Structure 1
Amino acid sequence: MTANITDGPEDDGRFAREVIDTGHYLVLATADAEGNPWPTPVWYARDAREFVWVSRPEARHSRNIEVRPRVGLTIFATPVPVEGRTHAVYADATAAEVPGTDRDRCLAVFDRRARAEGLGSWTVDRVVAPANLRLYRARVTQLFVLHPDRDVRRAVAIDL
């Protein structure tokens, strides 16, 4: 990580974007109907405050999203020394399987990053039946940054 931030929202935004844009996986925190937590790492792409990934609909986190769409996200810089120097972004979000009416747009976001990372092309036939994967998204409602030079996490209202 190269971001050095002070206390301004512009700096928080720059810091958050750097963590998010250099990350490959986010940890998706879901809960089932009884409130039992389940964290899952997912490879993601994003468009502004919307994060997109693919998962199997029968996966535990996908089933959890069906019953409790409120989720948490964590993206952190790796590798970092184990000296309390963590760079991380946390978010509250609402998640769901991407509806057919928005599938092309979200799939284009996912495909663009997949191609840029050398992961091949993603087309609609890979995320609709009879394929075993579906396209999901989380829309961020509140974003937090954890910077090693601060003792507190704080919500930041920034455009990603």
Structure 2
Amino acid sequence: MLHARQLVASNRYLALATVDAEGRPWCSPVYFAADDELECFYWMSATTSRHSRNIVANPEVSLAVFDSTVEPYHGRGVYSTGLAEVVAGDELQGALTVYPGDPSRGGSPITAEEVSDPSPWRLYRARAAAIWVLCPRPPRQPCPRHGRDDDHRARVR
């Protein structure tokens, strides 16, 4: 889990995959923040964005957080599946203690009013049902933990 936390803490964007009512997939990069236990991933989006509309039609999502700065074949990533929803009501203030994350990440603090009616923006949350990491290993070398030399994921929760 430590490896997953480090990857999430050191990256600002996740790739959010959604599906519309007709089953067409859509992937969007979104600035995010996650809680310390990686139970919830938060982002702010317009209600009119395609991924936001898809979440209304189908709340099942998947996401990937990855370090795009590493050398080729040295990939590091966190993957998750879960359900997404708008954060509202009594839960909104608590979520705003997580999002936008530490100021060093560059996100701008937001208020509940900025993500509530009549604003077109909302704070969204994906509750992680499962989390995996891409096992770190040198290219084409066996993973020290699993003995496999292919790209593979280990479930961390």
Q: TM-score range with shorter-chain normalisation?
A: 0.7 to 0.9
CA contact (8 A) 1:27 1:74 kept: yes
Superposed CA RMSD:
1.5
TM-fit CA distance, 1:95 = 0.3
Instruction: Give the match's secondary structure for 1:19.
Output: helix
Structure with greater proportional helix content: 1
TM-fit CA distance, 1:101 = 2.3
State the TM-score, normalizing by the size of structure 1: 0.83
Question: Of 22, 44, 50, which aligns to 1:54?
Answer: 44
Instruction: Give the match's secondary structure for 1:110.
Output: coil
Question: Of 81, 90, 99, which aligns to 2:71?
Answer: 81
Question: Which AA in structure 2 matches 1:88?
Answer: G
Question: Of 11, 15, 18, which aligns to 1:27?
Answer: 15
Gaps of 5+ in 2: 138-142, 144-149
Structure 1 pair 88/119, CA: closer, same or farther in 2 (3 Å)?
A: closer
For residues 106 and 155 of structure 2, the distance between their equivalents in structure 1, rounded to whole angstroms, comes to: 34
Match of 1:103 in 2: 92
For residues 120 and 26 of structure 1, the distance between their equivalents in structure 2, rounded to whole angstroms, comes to: 17
TM-fit CA distance, 1:107 = 1.6
State the TM-score, normalizing by the size of structure 2: 0.85
* Mapping for residues 89-128 of structure 1, pairs under 5 Å: 89-111=78-100, 113=101, 115-128=103-116
Paired-residue identity, % = 38
- 1:123-144 CA distance string (max 9 Å, x none): 1121112222111000000111
How many residue pairs were aligned?
143
Note if 1:72 corresponds to 2:31: no
Structure 1, 119-128 or 26-35: larger mean CA deviation: 119-128
Structure 1 pair 33/41, CA: closer, same or farther in 2 (3 Å)?
A: same
